[in-house]
């Protein structure tokens, strides 16, 4: 196991001014105020903190939650998107305007015009209420922090009092309804917001101006960068990441690391030595063409389509036996435009590590479903190896997992999971009889799973198509590259490059996602000097925007051999 200087808080340095703490922020926002002050915000922001920190001196305070439709009306409006499923909803087409009562909104606008600069408008959708000449602040919030607040039952969805709901239900409302409406609303405000407020750390608010924010986002979109990784325990979690990523050794385990999921990760801007946190998705919304490339943006819009994450089972247990939906099923059932095709790249492995993959040759599919249902209903054991191939897994193996394929990582592996972005759609079939971290059984989705399992992906198919399907691509002085996947049904191409000398790549107008899977460190350089050299360390995932064009990788230390896994969107066979 390599020891690396893993950077958990990567940031883009940007010149500008910053205000820290509520007193300084309040003073800055009131300087020369000649119209109303509006604080719009993403769901998950603690509006009580905004009120306490910013309301002093205002005689007319308008809270947007009081202008919304009744909770009954909001729930009736959103029920069809929430569905009856315990985990999965349907993608909403609602907009922020749909949550507001039209008469209340009109009356509030009139009262604000009459009150003038003594007015504070605060809450989700404040920009809809306040006049165009108001001073507009946007309090942003990263989805990972929102999820922590869900767990603490601190926050509510738009127009509903659901803080006491199970975390899975809160997340479902956010994922399928609230966050989609809020992202559309926020995107419409980028040219209008005067100040950006970071309250991801509740007792440490930070404020930067529009130009600083836009300058930082633009700079990030034109160079290699990393998002802020986040780590989470799991019922099957392991111990590998504690050492490599320098995590809390006293924690029971870390199962997950999400280090390239821009819709949920944070992005840090360093202003005057202080790190300010924003959702990485802001970069996608603002600079999709530079970041993704014209063809990728044309296909996926403002979705970042590639996900890298870690699954650590070294010193842990098997993941749940699972399957992901096919593209047709996810479109018809959940309203998603593409599915969670994926792969397991083995970063490291203990002796005896395995991967479960594909249906066993000659097994009875009806018997398997019967046994799964019996295990769920009666709590009896399910004999996974009777039906699913159990394949040895070694360091640098690559297993391809197109949607509809039975799979899970066994104990003893450190997996770099490379996948398409939809990250909610795992149909668990069997969880080895264990409880979740909350002491309750985790949801099992046999009925969904039974509709998407591709039974023809059996032992021979897996061997011929899904295990170490490696093809040489190119070689040069001190380097060689192989194609390791993905499956023809998947839109992601993955390549592994081994190098002990500089090697050049071209983005070909497609965003590139890479991870240094071997070697202490490597340096990313621009042959024409368009960005400063960027150092990455072992196990770090980094993103190279499409607009970068040509970039070079070289080992960070003399006589060192390095390897990177690289993924990009494939358009040609």
Model confidence over 471-521: pLDDT tens digits?
999 999 999 999 998 888 889 999 999 999 999 999 999 999 999 999 999
- 339 pLDDT band (50/70/90 cuts)? confident
Predicted TM-score (pTM) of the model is: 0.96
247 three-state secondary structure:
coil
Buried-exposed string 528-543: b where 16+ CB fall within 10 A, e elsewhere: eeebeebebbbbbbbb
Q: Please state, rounded to an integer, the average pLDDT across all residues of the chain.
A: 95
282 found inside a domain: no
Query: Same structural domain for residues 251 and 354?
Result: yes
Task: Write out pLDDT tens, residues 32-50.
Answer: 999 999 999 999 999 999 9
In this structure, the answer to whether residues 296 and 414 fall within a common structural domain is: yes
Residue 6, in any domain of the structure: no
Tell me whether residue 130 is in a domain: yes
205 shares a domain with 237? no
Residue 424 has pLDDT above 80, yes or no: no
Query: What percentage of the chain has pLDDT greater than the value 70?
Result: 99
pLDDT of 338 higher than 90: no
H or E stretch at 120: strand 119-122
* Number of neighbouring beta carbons within 10 Å of residue 168: 14
Q: Is residue 49 in a domain?
A: yes
Torsion sign across C-alpha atoms 76, 77, 78, 83: positive
Least confident of 31-45, 88-102, 558-572: 558-572
231 confidence band (pLDDT: 50, 70, 90): very high
For residues 430 and 487, membership in a common domain is answered with: no
Given 415, 449, 465, the domain boundary residue is 465
286 part of a folded domain: no
Q: Look up the domain containing 32 and give its range.
A: 11-220
- Number of structural domains (the chain) is 3
Indicate whether 405 belongs to any domain: yes
Angle between the N-to-C axes of helices 47-54 and 21-30, in degrees from 0 to 180, rounded to the nearest 10: 70
Q: Based on the fold, state whether residues 458 and 490 are members of the same structural domain.
A: no
Same domain flag for 529 and 420: no
255 and 389 part of one domain: yes
Q: Does residue 380 belong to any structural domain of this protein?
A: yes
Same-domain check for residues 202 and 237: no
The CATH code of the domain that includes 507 is 2.60.120.10
Q: Are residues 499 and 563 in the same domain?
A: yes
573: pLDDT strictly greater than 90 = no
pLDDT at 377: 86
- Beta bridge mates, 67: none
Average pLDDT for 354-368: 97
For residue 3, the model assigns a pLDDT of 61
Residues 116-131 have pLDDT tens digits of: 789 999 999 999 999 9
């Amino acid at each position: 196991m390599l020891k690396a200087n893993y950077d958990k808080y990567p940031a883009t340095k940007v010149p500008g001014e910053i205000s820290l703490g509520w007193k300084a922020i309040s003073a800055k926002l009131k300087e020369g105020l000649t119209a109303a002050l509006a604080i719009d915000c993403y769901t998950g922001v603690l509006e009580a903190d905004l009120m306490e920190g910013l309301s002093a001196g205002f005689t007319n305070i308008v809270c947007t939650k009081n202008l919304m439709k009744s909770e009954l009306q909001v729930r009736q409006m959103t029920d069809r998107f929430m569905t009856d499923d315990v985990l999965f909803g349907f993608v909403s087409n609602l907009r922020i305007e749909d949550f507001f009562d039209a008469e209340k909104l009109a009356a509030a606008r009139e009262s604000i015009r009459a009150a003038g600069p003594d007015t504070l408008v605060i809450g989700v959708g404040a920009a809809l209420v306040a006049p165009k000449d108001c001073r507009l602040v946007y309090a942003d919030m990263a989805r990972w922090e929102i999820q922590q607040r869900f767990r603490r039952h601190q926050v509510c969805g738009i127009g509903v009092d659901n803080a006491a709901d199970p975390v899975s239900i809160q997340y479902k409302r956010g994922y399928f309804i609230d966050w989609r409406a809020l992202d559309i609303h926020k995107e419409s405000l980028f040219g209008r917001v005067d100040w950006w407020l970071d309250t991801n750390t509740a007792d440490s608010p930070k404020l930067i101006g529009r130009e600083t924010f836009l300058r930082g986002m633009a700079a990030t979109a034109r160079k290699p960068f990393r998002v802020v990784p986040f780590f989470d325990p799991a019922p099957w979690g392991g111990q590998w990441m504690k050492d490599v990523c320098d995590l809390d050794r006293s924690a029971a385990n870390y199962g997950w690391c999400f280090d390239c999921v821009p819709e949920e990760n944070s992005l840090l801007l360093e202003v005057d030595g202080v790190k300010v946190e924003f959702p990485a998705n802001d970069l996608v919304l603002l600079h999709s063409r530079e970041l993704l490339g014209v063809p990728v943006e044309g296909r996926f819009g403002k979705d970042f389509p590639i996900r890298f994450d870690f699954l650590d089972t070294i010193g842990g247990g098997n993941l749940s036996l699972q399957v992901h939906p096919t593209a047709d099923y996810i479109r018809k059932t959940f309203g998603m435009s593409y599915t969670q095709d994926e792969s397991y790249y083995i970063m490291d492995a203990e002796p005896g590590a395995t991967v479960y993959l594909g249906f066993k040759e000659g097994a009875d599919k009806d018997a398997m479903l019967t046994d799964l249902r019996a295990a769920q209903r009666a709590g009896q054991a399910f004999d996974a190896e009777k039906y699913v191939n159990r394949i040895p897994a070694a360091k640098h193996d690559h297993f391809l997992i197109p949607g509809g394929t039975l799979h899970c990582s066994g104990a003893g592996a450190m997996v770099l999971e490379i996948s398409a972005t939809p990250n909610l759609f795992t149909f668990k079939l069997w969880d080895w009889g264990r409880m979740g971290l909350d002491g309750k059984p985790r949801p099992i989705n046999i009925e969904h799973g039974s509709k998407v399992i591709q039974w023809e992906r059996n032992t021979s198919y897996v061997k011929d198509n899904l295990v170490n399907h490696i093809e040489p691509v190119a070689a040069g002085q001190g380097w060689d590259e192989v194609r390791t996947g993905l499956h023809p049904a998947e839109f992601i191409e993955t390549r592994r490059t081994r190098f002990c000398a500089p090697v050049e790549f071209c983005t070909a107008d497609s965003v590139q996602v890479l991870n240094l899977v071997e070697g202490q460190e490597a340096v990313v350089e621009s042959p024409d000097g368009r960005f400063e050299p960027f150092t990455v360390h072992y196990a770090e995932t980094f993103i190279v925007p499409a607009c970068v064009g040509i970039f070079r990788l070289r080992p960070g230390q003399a006589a060192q051999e390095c390897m990177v896994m690289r993924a990009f969107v494939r358009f040609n066979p």
